[in-house]
A and B are shown apart, each in its own frame.
Chain A
Amino acid sequence: MTQIILSGLLLGGIYSIVSYGLTLVFGVIRIINFAHGSLLMVGMFFAYYLTKTLNINVYLTLLIVVPCMFLFGYVIQKYLISHVLNEPIMQLFLTFGLLLLLENVALAITRGDYFSLNLNMSTVKIGDAVMDWARMIIFLASILIAVILMVFLHFTNIGIKIRAVSQNRYAAKLIGIKLERIYPLTFGLGCAVLGIASVLLVPVYTIFPHVGFSFVIVAFAVVVLGGLGSIPGVLVGGMIIGLLESLTGYLLSPDLKQLTWYIIFIAVLLFKPAGIFGVVGSEEVGLK
């Protein structure tokens, strides 16, 4: 049982680390980014190829992947998404188009092969539970990223501007915050955090072009559950979903492991659409 709960928490760490990027994008720019998982997939492939070609430790690729993902996100926001800022329906189509594009370009390049990095990382024993280091690192990194993002959003100039935009974009614009600068920065930041996630996921997951789609759904669930734009919400939401998945898989059936959190997600949308840490009403700003 300890094993189940611990592996649930570690899975929660994975779920929250992939969701920070989405909470920034979804919470601040209000973009329903279906391409989130595909961006994760791009990062994972990038980290994998760098590790293979440069023959370095996978964690060192962070130094290259994260800045590149920042730029990639910046460019996507600035040249594509900025055209559909006030049209939620078109955002759905645009980001879905991006999802299909990225996934299938990856499919065309890789010819649908599966890649995985065999690191043979050692495991660690806590009580009678066994865990591998790669997941432990993700778990710790997830908490660390939450702290860094919190500090960044609360104590730096850009961070405070980002929060202002997420609370009320009209008022933020009135007091002189340049939305057209904040948006690409936020999207880039979201992609950079996603870049960290993608590097850390490489030792854990098999990489293939459609790996991102399941993460998109998880990330939406985590972000809505935790509250749009809320960083601690992502951490807690990820843990809740990880634990639910682990426990349902153990108690009910491994084939139904996502069942409970699907249902809980719909229930949250219904009864508390602002999420656990969200501001009431925040879910509708930008949609009206």
Chain B
Amino acid sequence: MNALRLDMKKIIGIFGLAILAVIPLFFNKGYFLTIIFQAYLFAALASSWNIIGGLGGQISFGHAVFFGVGAYTTAILFHDFRLSPWISMWIGAFISCLIGIVIAFPTFRLRGPFFSIATLIINELVLLLALYFEDLTGGSQGIIIPYQPSFSNLIFENTMAYVYITFGFLLITVAISFFILKSKLGYYLQAIREDQDAARILGISPFWTKMSGFLISVWLTSMGGSIYAMYIRFIEPKYIFSVTEIGVMFALMCMIGGMGTIAGPIIGALIIVPIDMLLRGTLGGTIPGLNIVVFSVILILFSLFFRQGIVGVVNEKVPLIDKVKPQILRKNEV
């Protein structure tokens, strides 16, 4: 099978993942491990977003909905029924997919930025409902998950355990992204991203292709939300369903790393999360918001000058790795 043949790119990829696997062992200190955990989690979540956003070109700003549904399902089921997160994360993912289908029917007809605006509004709608139904979600008080460390509870004393569980999750999302990229679905999604009308003429159903990519993406995002809930053990709607801190973050990480590539979202997250958290500790401590100022300047520079992200820049400079141009939705010029 062609997809399994080794080439330069895959060797570099496997080597990179191996480095990620050993990094936590060298930074075995509380704060560093927290950063690594968040970086890996966001790498996995950005990769999940990338399936529909980068490959399919459907820039969803509403993925915090599924992150939140996963987090809340796990938290509520554990808090009320002591159900193991290992089980409830599947229930959460299933609920997320049902919600995803409901969202897909009205929004998949919209194109480009209109899809983004619609998903943004749906995100706000869900936040409004989460704050309103206090009996279920605890409202703005949030839910505190009791501290009962055990493997089946997915609560650990040691952050290292979270780091490796998240790393496993990252490996799963990378594997899924890889097989989608090499499969028919991946090519269909890219065809729709480049030109939906042309793709349709070739016999691709835009709706069902988007739906498949979207649901896989939703499923993984929801799982990530479940892991996050058990790690942070306190969730409240304003943060979990936040557009600026969660939903758009996935998109921004993909964009900075390189949209539609496998390495892009991971590189994006591994750069953004440590910068953000380290600056928050230093700059943000003295002057609030300064860490995000740095981040937003990076974002503006990338959207002006490096539209193909870091992966795109590297590909251009080091032609030996890849000849295929990565993803950018360049529309016909005026």
B331 touches A100 (CB 8 A): no
CB distance from A173 to the nearest CB of B (A): 7
Residue on A with the closest CB to B113? A32
Cα A266 to Cα B106 in complex, Å, equals 8
> Which of A133-141, A149-157, A255-263 makes up part of the contact surface?
A255-263
A89 touches B289 (CB 8 A): no
Cα A141 to Cα B299 in complex, Å, equals 37
Is B101 an interface residue when CB atoms closer than 8 A count as contact? no
Residues of B within 8 A of A220 (CB): 117, 120-121
Q: Which residues of chain A in 3-39 are interfacial with respect to chain B, using CB atoms and an 8 Å cutoff?
A: 32
Across chains A and B, the number of contacting residue pairs, with CB separation under 8 Å, is 145
A111 touches B288 (CB 8 A): yes
B121 touches A266 (CB 8 A): yes
Given A100-B244, A101-B296: A32 touches B334 (CB 8 Å cut-off): no
Cα A86 to Cα B328 in complex, Å, equals 12
Given A93-B302, A255-B131, A262-B128: A100 touches B329 (CB 8 Å cut-off): no
Is B304 an interface residue when CB atoms closer than 8 A count as contact? yes
Is A80 an interface residue when CB atoms closer than 8 A count as contact? yes
Is B151 an interface residue when CB atoms closer than 8 A count as contact? no
Is B316 an interface residue when CB atoms closer than 8 A count as contact? no
Q: Which residues of chain B in 307-334 are interfacial with respect to chain A, using CB atoms and an 8 Å cutoff?
A: 307, 328-334
Given A87-B331, A262-B125: A101 touches B297 (CB 8 Å cut-off): yes
Cα A111 to Cα B107 in complex, Å, equals 39
Which bucket holds chain B's interface residue count? 35 or more
A105 touches B110 (CB 8 A): no
B59 touches A262 (CB 8 A): no
Is A189 an interface residue when CB atoms closer than 8 A count as contact? no
Cα A266 to Cα B125 in complex, Å, equals 10
Residues of A within 8 A of B117 (CB): 32, 220, 224, 269
B128 touches A83 (CB 8 A): no
Name B334's contact: one of A86, A105, A213, A256 (CB within 8 Å).
A86
Cα A32 to Cα B59 in complex, Å, equals 13
Given A84-B303, A179-B334, A256-B128: A273 touches B110 (CB 8 Å cut-off): yes
Cα A93 to Cα B251 in complex, Å, equals 9
Is B300 an interface residue when CB atoms closer than 8 A count as contact? yes
A87 touches B121 (CB 8 A): no
Is B204 an interface residue when CB atoms closer than 8 A count as contact? no
A104 touches B292 (CB 8 A): yes
Residues of B within 8 A of A265 (CB): 121
B329 touches A108 (CB 8 A): no
Cα A90 to Cα B259 in complex, Å, equals 11
Residues of A within 8 A of B297 (CB): 97, 101
Residues of B within 8 A of A217 (CB): 120-121, 124
Residues of B within 8 A of A89 (CB): 57, 59, 112, 259, 329
Residues of B within 8 A of A267 (CB): 106
Cα A98 to Cα B303 in complex, Å, equals 11
CB distance from A263 to the nearest CB of B (A): 7
Given A88-B112, A88-B331: A269 touches B125 (CB 8 Å cut-off): no
Name A86's contact: one of B120, B292, B296, B331 (CB within 8 Å).
B331
Given A88-B112, A287-B111: A103 touches B289 (CB 8 Å cut-off): yes
A169 touches B293 (CB 8 A): no
Is A211 an interface residue when CB atoms closer than 8 A count as contact? no
Write out, one digit per residue, whether chain A residues 234-274 have a CB within 8 A of any chain B CB (1) or not (0).
Answer: 00000000000000000001011011001101110110010
B300 touches A105 (CB 8 A): no
Residues of A within 8 A of B295 (CB): 100
Residue on B with the closest CB to A26? B113
Write out, one digit per residue, whether chain B residues 236-251 have a CB within 8 A of any chain A CB (1) or not (0).
Answer: 0000000010001001
B289 touches A94 (CB 8 A): no
Residues of A within 8 A of B113 (CB): 32, 88, 91-92, 287
B121 touches A92 (CB 8 A): no
A266 touches B334 (CB 8 A): no
A270 touches B106 (CB 8 A): yes
8 further A-B contacts with Cβ under 8 Å, apart from A97-B299, A108-B289, A267-B106, are: A89-B59, A89-B329, A90-B307, A93-B251, A103-B292, A287-B111, A287-B114, A287-B331
The interface of chain A, by Cβ under 8 A from chain B, is: 32, 80, 83-94, 96-101, 103-108, 111-112, 169-170, 173, 179, 209, 213, 217, 220-221, 224, 253, 255-256, 258-259, 262-263, 265-267, 269-270, 273, 283-284, 287-288
